[in-house]
């Protein structure tokens, strides 16, 4: 995160824009699109407002990924500590492009991705989905050894029932 450092702002005026203002990050710069008829005062007011909005959006994403990693670390310590660094992921992230699965794990680069659909579920279900993917770092396939690791989490059965219920209601979703 860039922290308090003020980014380079490029303001682009557009004659086609009437009221809408938008902003996006382009490398080190932030591009702010404003209507051509805005006064200088309106321009500076809107640039400040859009920078604050952008920072809030980025802060929210960073914080929730950080929270996910904290949660994963707690689960590792509680249920998989005897595996030491074997169960330590390189990264744990929320993703929005994973609609067919609750979570996924790539053991080769030790990355874990959790679907944003899980974000609204109860804590004990999020913990199950995370622990399931952490266990895949140790055992990649769904064999008996894998399910024995998952069963260390006391609410595994209940969480699987919860997820199966949702998957039945939304057929595209499955483990
Ligand atoms: Zn699995």
Give the mean pLDDT of 14-37.
85
Give the mean pLDDT of 8-29.
85
SS3 106: strand
| The pLDDT of residue 135 is above 90 | yes
Give 30 or 168, the one with higher predicted confidence: 30
* Rounded distance from Cα 146 to ligand 1 centre (Å): 9
Angle at the Cα of 16 from the Cα atoms of 14 and 20, rounded to 5 degrees: 75
* Rounded distance from Cα 58 to ligand 1 centre (Å): 30
* Rounded distance from Cα 60 to ligand 1 centre (Å): 28
Structure tokens, 31 = 């591009």
Instruction: Give the per-residue pLDDT at 3.
Output: 45
18 beta partners: none
Instruction: Give the per-residue pLDDT at 139.
Output: 95
* Rounded distance from Cα 61 to ligand 1 centre (Å): 25
| The pLDDT of residue 62 is above 70 | no
Threshold 0.75, pTM exceeds: no
* Rounded distance from Cα 121 to ligand 1 centre (Å): 18
Residue 31 Rama label (left phi>0; alpha psi -120 to 50; beta): beta
Band of residue 19 on the pLDDT scale cut at 50, 70, 90: confident
* Rounded distance from Cα 136 to ligand 1 centre (Å): 7
Give the mean pLDDT of 64-71.
89
Residue 58 to residue 52: CA distance in whole angstroms: 10
Contact 124, 158 (CB under 8 A): yes
Residue 126 to residue 114: CA distance in whole angstroms: 9
């Amino acid at each position: 995160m860039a922290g308090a450092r003020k980014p380079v702002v490029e303001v682009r005026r557009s004659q086609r824009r009437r009221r809408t203002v938008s902003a996006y990050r382009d490398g080190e710069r932030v591009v702010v699109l404003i209507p051509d008829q805005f006064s200088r005062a309106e321009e500076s007011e809107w640039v400040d407002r859009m920078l604050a909005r952008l920072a809030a959006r980025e802060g929210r994403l960073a914080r929730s990924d950080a929270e996910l990693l904290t949660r994963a670390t707690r689960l590792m310590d509680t249920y998989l500590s005897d595996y030491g660094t074997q169960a330590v992921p390189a990264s744990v992230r929320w993703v929005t492009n994973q609609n067919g699965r609750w979570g996924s794990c790539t053991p080769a680069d030790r990355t874990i991705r959790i679907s944003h659909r899980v974000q609204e579920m109860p804590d004990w279900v999020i913990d199950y989905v995370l622990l399931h993917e952490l266990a895949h770092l140790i055992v990649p396939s769904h064999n008996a050894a894998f399910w024995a690791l998952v069963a260390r989490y006391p609410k595994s059965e209940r969480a699987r029932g919860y997820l199966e219920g949702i998957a039945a209601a939304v057929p595209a979703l499955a483990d």
